[in-house]
Amino acid sequence: MQQNIARDKASTVSESRNDKLIGYLQQHLPKLVLAPSFAVILMFVYGFILWTVYLSFSASKMLPNYTWVGLEQWSRLWNTLTWQISLQNLFIFSVLYIGLCIVIGLSLAILLDQKIRLEGGLRTLYLYPMALSFIVTGTAWKWFLNPGLGLERTMHEWGFVDFKFDWLINSDMAIYTVVIAGVWQASGFIMAMFLAGLRGIDNEILKAAQIDGAPAWKIYTRIIIPQLGPVFLSAFVVLLHLAIKSFDLVIALTGGGPGNATSLPATFMYSYSFTRNQIGVGASSAVFMLMIIASIMVPYIYSEIKGGKK
């Protein structure tokens, strides 16, 4: 009798231990499942960021070399003419690219918002370029803008013999061809963002504005566009990081040339790290690009998180 009770006790103890284990598993299973991918990201994204930062202070040339040289690579970077041109190009490119994409995207969205027929079709048409890879866009525009093959030759064949459009091979103008191709690709996407924003505006507000006697363009400038602030911000952030990361578009369209006329920080980084045996300089340019992006993304993400909590 006494033994029986003792055995019962023992079995309930082991049962409750089992329950504890299951409870522990249930509570921690998600963490356990996520742990490997978390470790991989930690290593390959953040680990390599730190590694790159270290390399930018090292004597690395063709291969990584961990001798600490302080700011030597950084000063070399800033004394490189190509880097200065790259930054200047980046400035021209991003200002025009972001500005034109937003202006064109917003205008297209407003036109499409006029409840026209075929809207679905048109919207897809404008969105298609974004589905293409930058390489395809770059190559297509290279052919189109090539004086011997594309637009210029077609115009000559049509009889406009004096027509001249050689921006692609003109080192002063080549950067603008990158702008044209980039804008062509992204403005449809920006249009879709603005269209979603326009559709989100309360219909009754527009009715109220109509009764208040505002003409259509004033309804846009005074009431609708001021409400699109968040869309402008999102479009700006998306476009800016696309601009800073622009690499394949330039490689396919101009290859950074003529000369280094269309070099951008991303192409600079690639060529110094992997073809010119200057890993240290390449790493410092990469870190600098990270700093620009971070200085914009961090406040943006921070404000998004804060806004989300509210």
Partner 1 sequence: MSFLNIENVNKHYFDVEVLKSINIEINKGDFLVLVGPSGCGKSTLLNMIAGLDEISGGDISIDGQSMAGVHPSKRDIAMVFQSYALYPNMSVAKNISFGLEMRKVPKVERDKAVQKVAKMLQMEQLLDRKPSQLSGGQRQRVAMGRALVREPRVFLFDEPLSNLDAKLRVDMRTEIKQLHQRLGATIVYVTHDQIEAMTLATKIAVMNAGIVQQFGSPEEIYDNPVNTFVAGFMGSPSMNLIQAKVCKVEDKLCFEVATADQDRPLLLPIERDQQALVSYLNRNVTLGLRPETITDPGSANRSEGQIHEADLMVKVTEPTGADMFVVTQLGGTEVVARMRSRCGALAGQSCRFAFDVSRNLAFDGDTGDRIQ
Q: Nearer Cβ to partner 1, position 45 or 233? A: 233
* 8 part of the interface to partner 1, by CB under 8 A: no
196 Cβ partners below 8 Å, 6+ apart?
Answer: 231
Q: Nearer Cβ to partner 1, position 215 or 255? A: 215
* 255 part of the interface to partner 1, by CB under 8 A: no
Question: Are the CB atoms for 89 and 172 separated by under 8 Å?
Answer: no
* 207 part of the interface to partner 1, by CB under 8 A: yes
Give the shortest CB-210-to-partner 1 separation in angstroms. Answer: 5
User: Cα dist. 217→8, 108, 206, 220, 223 in Å?
Assistant: 84, 15, 12, 5, 10
Per-residue contact string for residues 211-250; x = within reach of partner 1 by CB under 8 A? xxxx---x---xx--xx-----------------------
| Nearest residue to 246 via CA among 271, 258, 263 | 263
**Segment contacting partner 1 by CB under 8 A, of 28-36, 203-211, 248-256, 267-275:** 203-211
* 171 part of the interface to partner 1, by CB under 8 A: no
Give the shortest CB-232-to-partner 1 separation in angstroms. Answer: 13
DSSP state of 221: I
Give the shortest CB-200-to-partner 1 separation in angstroms. Answer: 12
* 200 part of the interface to partner 1, by CB under 8 A: no
Give the shortest CB-219-to-partner 1 separation in angstroms. Answer: 10
3 Cβ partners below 8 Å, 6+ apart?
Answer: none
DSSP state of 273: I
Applying CB under 8 A, among 209, 239, 251, 286 the residue interacting with partner 1 is 209
* Cα–Cα distance, 219 to 11 (Å, whole number): 76
Give the shortest CB-222-to-partner 1 separation in angstroms. Answer: 8
* 125 part of the interface to partner 1, by CB under 8 A: no
**Segment contacting partner 1 by CB under 8 A, of 17-25, 70-78, 94-102, 202-210:** 202-210
Tokens of 29: 């299973």
Applying CB under 8 A, among 135, 208, 233, 298 the residue interacting with partner 1 is 208
Give the shortest CB-276-to-partner 1 separation in angstroms. Answer: 52
* Cα–Cα distance, 56 to 51 (Å, whole number): 9
Judged by CB under 8 A, the number of residues near partner 1 is 16
Give the shortest CB-212-to-partner 1 separation in angstroms. Answer: 4
* 199 part of the interface to partner 1, by CB under 8 A: no
User: Cα dist. 94→100, 188, 198 in Å?
Assistant: 10, 17, 25
Q: Tokens 């690709």 appear where?
A: 185
* Cα–Cα distance, 235 to 245 (Å, whole number): 15
Question: Are the CB atoms for 188 and 126 separated by under 8 Å?
Answer: yes
Q: Nearer Cβ to partner 1, position 227 or 234? A: 227
Question: Are the CB atoms for 76 and 70 separated by under 8 Å?
Answer: no
* 303 part of the interface to partner 1, by CB under 8 A: no
Give the shortest CB-187-to-partner 1 separation in angstroms. Answer: 25
* Cα–Cα distance, 149 to 126 (Å, whole number): 25
Q: Tokens 């600490």 appear where?
A: 68
Instruction: Give ∠ CA 99-209-230 in degrees, rounded to 5.
Output: 35
Residues in touch with partner 1 (CB under 8 A): 202, 204-205, 207-214, 218, 222-223, 226-227
